Homo-oligomer: A and B are copies of this chain.
Amino acid sequence: MTTGSIAEVLQKAKRARAAAARLALMSRAQKDHVLSSMADALEAQADVILAANAGDVETAKQRQMSSAPIDRLLLNTERISEMADGLRSVARLADPVGEVITGWRLPNGLEIAKVRVPFGVVGIIYESRPNVTVDAAGLCVKSGNAVILRGGSDAIQSNLALVNVLSQAGTLAGLPEGAIEIIETTDREAAGQLMRLNEYVDVLIPRGGGGLIRRVKEESSVPVIETGEGNCHVYVDAAADLDWAEEIVVNAKCQRPGVCNAAETLLVHEDIAADFLPRVGRRLTDAGVELRACERAIKHLSDSKPASDEDWETEFLALIMAVKVVANVDEAIEHINRYGTKHSESIITADLVSARRFTQAVDAAVVYVNASTRFTDGGQFGMGAEIGISTQKLHARGPMALSELTSYKYVVMGDGQVRT
C-alpha cells in the first residue's frame, strides 16, 4: 500500500466522521435545501461534468472496453437532468430521522423512546456507473449520513467532477464540509483500507458484481450490507391460472434480463407441464430466450437444450432460462432454498394451501404470490429511491431506502431512578 493512499483514506474518513456529527442534527428543511441546491448545480455545471466524462469515455475506448459498459459510463445532458431530478425526488421524501419507532413506560416510571437516528458514516464501494455517485450522495444526505464513495477507476474523472459539484453546492447550502467524500485513489489497497476503518465508518455497502461483493464480505471488518445477487425463480403450481403464469414468467425473465430481480429458473408442477411448457416455451423463444431444460421439461419444449447442474445455480443476467419440472410445491421450495440467493421468489397458484406453504417456507427477502419478481425495487414498493437490494438477513432485507440507511437509539427519561 502506498503511504499516499493510506493517508488519503484516513484523512477523508476523519472528515466524514466529523461531518456526520453535525449532519445528524440537521433539520429536514435544511437537508432538502441542500438537495435542491445540489440538483441545480448539477444542471448548471453540466459542461464541467460532461468534459470529465468525455475523458473517462476516451480512456475506456483506448482500453477497448465494449459498447455496453461504455454506454453505462456515458453521460449526456439528459442523464445529468435525470440525476438532478433524482435528488429532487429524494428531497420530497419524508425524513426518516427523528421518527419515534415505539416507546413505553416502565413500572419504575422511566419513559423509553426508540428514536430513529442516522448510521453516521456510510461507505459505498461500487463499480463504473456514475449515477451511483449522485444517488448515494442524495440518499445519504437525506438520511443524515456522511458518505465516503469509492467508485471504480473507469468512472473516476466523472465521479470526481460530480462530487466536486455536489459538495461545493452542498457546502454553500449548509452541508457540513466532509459530508460527501470520494476516495481518489482507485487502487485495491484504498478500498481495503476503507474496509478496516471501524472507528470511522459505521457500515459499508458494496454495489456491483458478485466478485466485488464477495471481496468486501470477506475482507471488511466494518459491518457490511450484502446486496444484489439474484438467482430468482418462478414456480408455476398445479392450480395456477396459466394466463397469469405465462405473462408473469415472460415479464420476470424478459422485461429487463440484466438486473438482479429478473427470474433465472422456471419451475413447473408436473401435472401442468404438458399444458403449460409448450405455450410459455413458445413465448420465451419468440422473445429470444435460450431455454435449458431438465429431462422431463425438455420433452415439452420444442426449442431447448439440456440443463447442466451449474445452470440451477447461475444468475444468467441474460436471455437464458433454466426450466425444471417438479413433483409438488415442496420440491419447488427445496430447489429454491438450495439454489436461490434469498432475493425474490414467486409462486403462481390459486391454491391457498400451496401459497401459504410457499410464502412461509421459502427463505427470501421477497416472496410473491401471483406476481412478477421484477417488483423487488424501492421505487416499485413505494419507498422512493433505493440504495440497493439486501440479500442478507442482518439489519435490512430486500429494497433498502431511506429508513434502511438508519439505526436507532433509546432515549430514556427519568426522575432520579437508580437500579436496586
Contact B393 A120 (CB under 8 A): yes
Contact A370 B419 (CB under 8 A): no
Contact A394 B397 (CB under 8 A): no
A107, B415: Cα distance in complex, Å: 48
Known contacts A394-B202, A409-B366, A248 near B21 by CB under 8 Å: no
Residues of B within 8 Å of A407, CB to CB, are 393-394, 397
Contact A371 B241 (CB under 8 A): no
Chain B binder among A70-78, A135-143, A167-175, A374-382:
A374-382
Kindly state whether residue A62 has any CB partner on chain B within 8 Å: no
Chain A: residues with Cβ within 8 Å of the partner, total of: 70
Contact B120 A363 (CB under 8 A): yes
Residues of B within 8 Å of A418, CB to CB, are 247-248, 250-252, 255, 371-372, 374
Contact A416 B366 (CB under 8 A): no
A111, B371: Cα distance in complex, Å: 10
**Which chain A residues in 355-410 approach chain B with CB under 8 Å?**
355, 359-361, 363-372, 374-375, 380-382, 392-395, 397-398, 407-410
Kindly state whether residue A225 has any CB partner on chain B within 8 Å: yes
Which residue of chain B lies nearest to A112 when distances are taken between CB atoms in the complex?
Answer: B381
What mask results when residues 20 to 48 of chain A are scored 1 for a CB within 8 Å of chain B, else 0?
01001100000000000000000000000
Contact B21 A371 (CB under 8 A): no
Interface centre among A247, A371, A397, A411 (most CB of B within 10 A): A371
* Cβ 8 A contact of A21, one of B120, B255, B337, B370: B337
A372, B110: Cα distance in complex, Å: 11
A369, B112: Cα distance in complex, Å: 11
Name the distance in Å between A325's Cβ and chain B's nearest Cβ. Answer: 22
A217, B414: Cα distance in complex, Å: 35
Contact B223 A392 (CB under 8 A): yes
A410, B415: Cα distance in complex, Å: 41
Contact B363 A21 (CB under 8 A): yes
A368, B218: Cα distance in complex, Å: 37
A337, B25: Cα distance in complex, Å: 14
Q: State how many copies of this chain the complex holds.
A: 2
A248, B394: Cα distance in complex, Å: 35
Known contacts A110-B371, A393-B407, A409-B364, A248 near B337 by CB under 8 Å: no
Residues of B within 8 Å of A252, CB to CB, are 418
Contact B370 A104 (CB under 8 A): no
Kindly state whether residue A417 has any CB partner on chain B within 8 Å: yes
Which residue of chain B lies nearest to A361 when distances are taken between CB atoms in the complex?
Answer: B25
Residues of B within 8 Å of A411, CB to CB, are 359, 366-367, 369
Which residue of chain B lies nearest to A372 when distances are taken between CB atoms in the complex?
Answer: B418
A241, B120: Cα distance in complex, Å: 33
Kindly state whether residue A413 has any CB partner on chain B within 8 Å: yes
Contact A419 B372 (CB under 8 A): yes
Known contacts A203-B393, A382-B104, A369 near B248 by CB under 8 Å: no
Contact B243 A412 (CB under 8 A): no
Kindly state whether residue A106 has any CB partner on chain B within 8 Å: yes
Contact B397 A395 (CB under 8 A): no
Known contacts A368-B414, A419-B374, A395 near B395 by CB under 8 Å: yes
Kindly state whether residue A59 has any CB partner on chain B within 8 Å: no
Contact A419 B217 (CB under 8 A): no
Known contacts A104-B382, A370-B416, A221 near B223 by CB under 8 Å: no
Contact B416 A367 (CB under 8 A): no
A392, B411: Cα distance in complex, Å: 16
Contact B106 A393 (CB under 8 A): no
Contact A375 B412 (CB under 8 A): yes
Known A24-B360, A202-B392, A369-B414; further 5 A-B contacts with Cβ < 8 A: A202-B394, A255-B419, A366-B410, A369-B412, A375-B417
14 interchain pairs, CB-CB under 8 A: A21-B337, A21-B363, A104-B382, A202-B393, A203-B393, A217-B221, A223-B223, A225-B394, A247-B416, A248-B418, A369-B414, A370-B413, A397-B407, A398-B409
